[in-house]
Amino acid sequence: MGQQMFANIAPASTITAIEPLRSDSTMRRVRVGGKTIATVRAADMEAMELAVGLDWTEQLAQKVRRAVETHEARGAALRLLNRRAYSCGELIDRLARKGHSNQIAGNIAQELATAGLIDDEAYARAIARETVATKPASQEFLARKLRGRRIDDDLAQRIALETLADVDMVEAATQYARKRLHAMPTVSRTTATRRIAAALARRGFDADTIAATLGRLNQALLTDQPAT
């Protein structure tokens, strides 16, 4: 029920009925002064100690309103998670954009994380693996991408470091550079080198790694080694 229904309840009213929904045994319909005021979870009803005959006060109305809003946010969160994984931070942002309060969104994200439906570490590892599966990337590039997915900075840095722990960054960058060079058969060597350097910089490689990579690439060309 909307805010207007809560406002229409006359003073000194009482809860006149609490009825289970036929369509969902976990939900209860609460009637006040003969009007259906809200549909809440049975667990929330018990936590608020709702009972027939209880006075409908403004304080109680606020509790029920919050329970309704929390239930709606929980449903929205589950629908989002049914489509793809989210980090806690991403889920909070999405719920906030749907009009839910940051506090309720945060509570729901924590609830779902506790239930194992959100796992920031597993999510971060999956993103990191996917990111480097086809193109190399620096540790800072990975960490920045994870932060962009609302992963905590410490966790982002750790996952990035662990993902690249056994990677020879110059070798990985060199293999990528050779593929880029092969894709530019009609471009001059100077232009190709400039483009490759820019591409490596966009993937977060520092100047020393880029220089070492271009050195290996040029040596391969001078010795007429295959560039693929």
Average of per-residue pLDDT across 79-98: 97
> In the β-sheet with 35-41, what is the strand arrangement from edge to edge?
15-20, 27-32, 35-41
Same domain for 126 and 75, yes or no, is: no
Please identify which residue in the block is written with the tokens 């001078």.
222
Longest dimension (CA), the chain: 93
Long-range (24+ apart) CB contacts under 8 A made by 118-121 are 118/81, 118/85, 118/86, 118/87, 118/88, 118/91, 120/87, 120/88, 120/151, 120/152, 120/155, 121/155, 121/159
What band does 4 get if pLDDT is binned at 50, 70 and 90? Answer: very low
Residue 208, in any domain of the structure: yes
Q: What is the pLDDT of residues 40-66, one digit of tens each?
A: 999 999 999 999 999 988 899 899 999
At 77 the three-state DSSP class reads helix
Same domain, 189 and 139: no
Does 227 fall in a domain?
no
* Residue 154 sits in the same domain as residue 64: no
> Are residue 109 and residue 124 in the same domain, yes or no?
no
pTM: 0.81
For residues 12 and 45, membership in a common domain is answered with: yes
Per-residue pLDDT tens for 100-158?
A: 999 999 999 999 999 999 999 999 999 999 999 989 999 999 999 999 999 999 999 99
94: in domain: yes
Q: What is the distance, to the nearest Å, from the Cα of residue 48 to the centroid of all Cα atoms in its chain?
A: 31
